[in-house]
Each structure stands twice: as C-alpha cells, then as structure tokens.
Amino acid sequence: MIGVRHVVKGTEPVSRAAALEERLAEWSSRTGVAVEVWALPGRALPSRVDGLVHGVIGDVLDEVERQGRARAVCVALTVGSGGLRLTVSDDGQGTAAETCEARRAEAARLGGGLSVNAVRGEGTTVSLVLPAGALGWPGPPAGAFSARDRASHARARRRPRRSRRS
C-alpha cells in the first residue's frame, strides 16, 4: 500500500501535524515510497522549531527520493516535558546526506542535537532532540521522555528489512 499509515491510534493531531501528514501522503503517492507515522505531537510547536522539524523531514525525503532505493520511511515526532524528539528512518542504501549539516547547526543553536546513523545497504536514521527550553517552556532535563515516546521512536528506528533473494 502506498500512502501514509498512521500507526498510533486515538491521537488528534493539530493542524500542523495534519499538514505534515498531508505532505507525507502526497510525497508517498508521488514517489511510491510507503510512509509510516508512529507519533505526532498533540500541541503546536514554536515557529522556529516547527521550521527545523519540517526542514529535517524534507531533507530526509529529498535524499530518499534522490537515492531511489528505499521502499519505506518511518516518522515519529513526540513532544513532552523533556522536550522534542524526531526520528526519521528509511530502508534505503544507507548514505548520510550532507544537507544535514545546516540542520545540525540550527539544532545546536536551540540547545539540541541532530544525529545521522547510516548503515550501508540497510538504511539511514536521522534523530533530532531538542530540550524543553527550545520549545519555550520549562521542563526536566533532556532525556526525560515517556515510555510511550521511547517506544514510538524505537519502532520508527526499525527499518523494514529488504528481502534477500537467493
């Protein structure tokens, strides 16, 4: 099935989250690459953070489309008292995009970090973590995400395995 599959049941995404889902559905339809959405936030993000999140997702989608080898992309975006966490994974050829450098610098300016983990032939996972302060509200130390948030990101990091033919 081509299109966005929203895996987390019972969530009411805000309008920007709905717009993100629409963008992912359009991209999936155009490219033929399936998209699984494991989590989206239930509240609006500050515009600077929202721009960074959409920029990171856009960079990953552009790279996946450019490479042309992925069959699936998984997205998890959670916001909690510990801050924001974004995980975007694909099952492509596993090359890190150089375009992430500008996004990494922006994440650092907001007190967070961006990491890219590429495994050749298996895919790439891009993770963005921002502290609660970047979102404009006080919160516990970075890393204070709920068990549900951690589970959503763990599922998003599990890239679908390509079938191996003998």
d(CA 137, CA 166): 54
Q: What is the CATH number of the domain that holds 82?
A: 3.30.565.10
The total number of structural domains in the chain stands at 1
Residue 34 has pLDDT above 90, yes or no: yes
Reported as a single tens digit per residue, the pLDDT across 62-117 is 989 988 789 999 999 998 888 999 999 999 887 765 657 889 999 999 999 999 99
Mean pLDDT score of the chain:
79
User: What is residue 34's three-state secondary structure?
Assistant: strand
In a domain, 50, yes or no: yes
3-state secondary structure of 30: helix
| More reliable by pLDDT, 42 or 139 | 42
When comparing pLDDT for 16 and 98, which is higher? 16
Q: Which domain holds residue 112?
A: 4-157
DSSP code per residue over 84-137: EEEEEEE-S-----TTHHHHHHHHHHTT-EEEEEEETTTEEEEEEEEEGGGGTS
For the whole model, what pTM was predicted? Answer: 0.75
Q: Is the pLDDT of residue 11 over 50?
A: no
**Integer Cα distance of 130 and 165 in angstroms:** 41
